[in-house]
Amino acid sequence: MAAGPRPPLGLTGVMAGADPRGAGSHLRAGRRVRRAAEEEEEEEEEEALPAPGGSERGSRRPKMAAAAGDVCGAATGSRAATGAAAEARFISSAKGKGLFATKNIHKGETVFVERPVVSSQFLWNALYNYRACDHCLRALETAEENAQRLLGKSSLVLPHPEQCSIRKDLHQQCPRCQVTYCSAECRQAALEQYHQVLCLGPSRDDPTHPLNKLQEAWRNMHYPPETSSIMLMARMVATVKQAKDKEWWIKAFSQFCSKTANEEEEIVHKLLGDKFKGQLELLRLLFTEALYDEHLSRWFTPEGFRSLFALVGTNGQGIGTSSLSQWVHACDALDLPMLQREELDAFIDQLYKDIEKESGEFLNCEGSGLYVLQSCCNHSCIPNAETSFPENNFLLHLTALEDIEAGEEICISYLDCCQRERSRHSRNKILRENYLFTCSCPKCLAQADDADVTSDEEEEGEGETDDAELEDEMTDV
């Protein structure tokens, strides 16, 4: 539910952050940690307050080290926007590119805000009525509607409804195919970039339409937890087909890292399973039937389609949005008397527990996108930055977790909090299986002489772990 920190998607659904997919225990722990951190920040601010008559107390919103970049600015250069605090640099042929600070960045600062070159909601997620803007993935349900659906309880009433930010009066639909957008701006942006090619019009419910056949084939191959979508690739093709300057967009997509033939095959295998070769060819034929374009003829060959598939599988960044999460964050920020605060916190904690029992772990509107700058962020088991989607849409915020000096590499973690505390061997097993590399960050180098056993093997050697201890470990994030 909480649209918190999310790293690049793993090939088998691995997502980092205190709340990868909304499990209630992690959510409750995440809220406790966040509230404690905010209280600590408030105490620090109180200590730093000027004497009466001095300047006003500063806002608690994160300080910005860079302005938001638009899709064109992000796609054509190494910086998200003019004055951005980071840029992509080539490191080596083995490691590829990395993201480096162009000036000193303080802990808590937003390094940049980036718009994806292209993005798409996951197909199963949309099929199961997780209603999101077809362009920016902003959740379309009100927080109360979201909670009612996840609980299966239409009578639920949320307190403080004014804290919900959803503006249903701004929603618009495509007049031809009826897909929904959060605003006129998103409808126009989609129309200008790719929707003219992908609009199904009156064929939206026609199972014989080539695009519907492609989507149905993908759903039958790639089940939840979803890590990618064939429609992300479709939007890439549609973007080029609609563009006046097609070569500009082809160059923009070529900025994303590529893999060797063997690595590409391993990525496809991870995404589609043991029968991946036959399934990949079926997808290619359906993809060609629906979207073939002469300017992109290489993308439709067996080798080119595999490369395109691997590009999306390697570089796709998970996106999660939730109107309920936004409401919870807004409620957390309310200045309430102690008794009301305790009652509201108890209500929210119980709501999380009830939703977890009813709906399990799939609580967010989810999709993926391609981000030029974010895709340059390398992994570290001791990251100095994290990604998040605090605006309830596809705008990615990269925030510093500690002070970062000019020239220093900015790294995020592809592992969640619990995974980062496991043994070096366990961490690298996850990274090899899901991201095809072995980590050489300072933490891994310092533990290079540790025994090559997984954390599970270590626990077996120490005896059975008590269920209560395991629960404490899992929620202490």
Q: What is the per-residue pLDDT for 39?
A: 55
Does the pLDDT value for residue 27 go beyond 90?
no
Q: Report residue 450's pLDDT band, with 50, 70 and 90 as the boundaries.
A: confident
d(CA 89, CA 99): 6
Mean pLDDT of the chain: 81
Length of the chain as a residue count: 477
The dihedrals phi and psi of 292, each to the nearest 5 degrees, come to -50, 140
In order of 61, 141, 234, 309, 326, the CA distances from 329 in angstroms are 13, 16, 34, 36, 5
- Least confident among 91-95, 446-450, 459-463: 459-463
Per residue in 285-318, pLDDT (tens digit) is 999 999 999 999 999 999 999 999 888 988 899 9
**Rounded (10°) angle between helices 338-359 and 24-47:** 150
Does the pLDDT value for residue 96 go beyond 50?
yes
Which single residue is written with the structure tokens 């000193």?
A: 104
Q: What is the per-residue pLDDT for 383?
A: 97
92 - beta bridge partners? 96
- Higher per-residue confidence, 271 vs 171: 171
> How is residue 320 annotated by DSSP?
E
Q: What is the mean pLDDT of residues 108-126?
A: 96
Beta strand 110-114 pairing with 68-69: parallel
Q: What is the per-residue pLDDT for 16?
A: 34
- Least confident among 72-81, 200-209, 329-338: 72-81
d(CA 397, CA 373): 11
Cβ atoms < 10 Å from Cβ of 307: 16
- Are 24 and 355 in contact by the 8 Å Cβ rule? The answer is yes
Q: What is the per-residue pLDDT for 475?
A: 27
d(CA 88, CA 426): 29
Q: What is the per-residue pLDDT for 456?
A: 59
d(CA 98, CA 88): 6
Q: What type of residue sits at position 437?
A: F
Q: What is the per-residue pLDDT for 35?
A: 56
